[in-house]
Amino acid sequence: MTISSLAKFIAGVKRMIVENVEIENPETNPANIISVRPAKRDSCRCGICGKKCSRYDKGSGRRRWRAMDIGNCSKVYLESDSPRVWCKEHGAVVQMVPWARHGSKHTRGFEDTAVWMSLHLSRKAVSEYLRVSWDTVGPMVSRVEKETRSGDKRFDGLVKIGIDETSYKKGHKYITVVINHDTNAVVWAAKGFGKEVLESFFKELTPAQRKSIQLVSGDGARWIKDTVANYCPQATFCIDPFHVVSWCEEVLDTVRKQQWKEARKKAAEENKGKGKRQRGRPKGGSAEKTAAQKEAEIMKNSKYPLLMNPDHLSESYQAKLQQILLYDRRLATAYRLKEGLRAIFHLPAEEVRPALEKWRRRAWSCRIPEFVELQRKIKRHMNAIVATVTHQISNARVEAANNKIKLTIRMAYGFRNINNLIALIYLRCGGRVIYLPGRAPVKVT
Ligand SMILES: [Zn+2]
């Protein structure tokens, strides 16, 4: 094997001419520098479109691209001139190089590996293993995503779609995401929310693609309903069940906070009535707690058992829940209303409307103002809720897709550019095919 073939093998690049190989700083910080140039057929091409162009100038001189490490963690760099060419379409552009994507300081192999790793490992693992900062991975994700997008057919044959806005940063920063319910894949995502943002999605579709959409689910926001009615008048509107349940959970949590506040207040008043407490541990009989104090204690940390699905509660939480329901009648009523609403989504379609009406009557007469308000909201969205059960929008699947998006957003913290976050969502949640260098393509699930 010649030095040239060995260098190509190490760098994982075949299409280049190797001019020299040397080891830099062998004692302190060894790095393998492979000096290369593109073959004649690859030189003088526009870095953006790849068309053959005429040479423009020398550019910024020698450049380095990092490749995957070898041996005992020795870094590897490809080094080459970076002349600019004149493209009729793009003007003066740095010439294309076959070993790296335009604008990158890493080889294709390095970027593909980094992106594959970021789809499967934690941020910390990726940064530490590759010795790159996490925000460097962001632009790599965008470049790889752009390549996997070409020729994709994500808008073809859309029948059931879900539209949702998700926050990606504190301070009301949102992205709007469109999911294909049949594949559970994200087909579209963009910064912001509201009518204009969603309109830009529908404008990307052809009239035939818009016509094929039969069902749209969302959280009941007016801007989603109005835009869908405008662009897909044939589509039925549904509400994702977990949105309806989350309205109810919010109300239940408000009641929980009120009750806890009340219980603490009562306990504090009773304490005051007893006069100043003696220093040190209370003696025998005086340690007995009043009813209000007991209630305040039970109400402490009650959020989890009350809001969680009871099937997922541990034994100790089950016991805590029973205690809460026994001690606080108002909270027990609120809890039963929440569970009652959740159960409606498991009923046969024809039973949903009567069950919702019954639920509304219970909520209306429970004397908790927040639930009286909620039953009005349920009335407004009655048709959409009934349609959800009729068309069998699986809550578990929708929620799973939503959680995956939220996890991806958390993963992308540290990316400076929102487009890199969106690219990561497409790669992790869009059913894209990813290539690990030298391996068969892998579909991300
Ligand atoms: Zn060009």
Three-point CA angle 8, 14, 18, nearest 5°? 50
State how far the Cα of 332 lies from the Cα of 322, in Å rounded to an integer: 9
Three-point CA angle 355, 358, 362, nearest 5°? 135
C-alpha of residue 94 to centroid of ligand 1, in Å: 10
State how far the Cα of 268 lies from the Cα of 192, in Å rounded to an integer: 46
Alpha helices per DSSP H over 164-221? 195-204, 207-212
Q: In this predicted model, what pLDDT tens digit does every residue of 156-206 receive, in sequence order?
A: 889 999 998 888 887 778 899 999 988 889 999 999 989 999 999 999 999
C-alpha of residue 90 to centroid of ligand 1, in Å: 5
C-alpha of residue 45 to centroid of ligand 1, in Å: 8
Predicted confidence band at 287 (pLDDT cuts at 50, 70, 90)? Answer: low
Residue type, position 348, single letter: P
State how far the Cα of 256 lies from the Cα of 308, in Å rounded to an integer: 14
Q: Residue 201: name the closest of 231, 173, 222, 174 by CA.
A: 231
Evaluate if residue 341 carries a pLDDT over 70. Answer: yes
**Residue 395 has what pLDDT?**
64
C-alpha of residue 16 to centroid of ligand 1, in Å: 21
C-alpha of residue 138 to centroid of ligand 1, in Å: 24
Residue type, position 9, single letter: F
Q: Residue 338: name the closest of 275, 223, 252 by CA.
A: 252
Q: What pTM was estimated for this model as a whole?
A: 0.81
C-alpha of residue 51 to centroid of ligand 1, in Å: 6
All structural domains of the chain with their residue ranges: 1-104, 241-268+291-390
What is the phi/psi pair of residue 6, to 5°? -65, -45
C-alpha of residue 42 to centroid of ligand 1, in Å: 14
Q: Residue 56: name the closest of 25, 80, 31, 91 by CA.
A: 91
C-alpha of residue 61 to centroid of ligand 1, in Å: 21
Evaluate if residue 430 carries a pLDDT over 70. Answer: yes
State how far the Cα of 119 lies from the Cα of 57, in Å rounded to an integer: 39
C-alpha of residue 384 to centroid of ligand 1, in Å: 49
C-alpha of residue 190 to centroid of ligand 1, in Å: 27
Q: Taking the C-alpha atoms of 180, 183, 184 and 185 in order, what is their torsion angle to the nearest 10 degrees? A: -70
**Residue 281 has what pLDDT?**
55
Cβ proximity of 424 and 189 under 8 Å: no
Q: In this predicted model, what pLDDT tens digit does every residue of 115-159 receive, in sequence order?
A: 999 998 999 999 999 999 999 999 999 999 998 886 778 888 899
Q: In this predicted model, what pLDDT tens digit does every residue of 50-108 receive, in sequence order?
A: 999 999 999 888 999 999 998 777 899 999 999 999 999 999 999 999 999 999 999 99
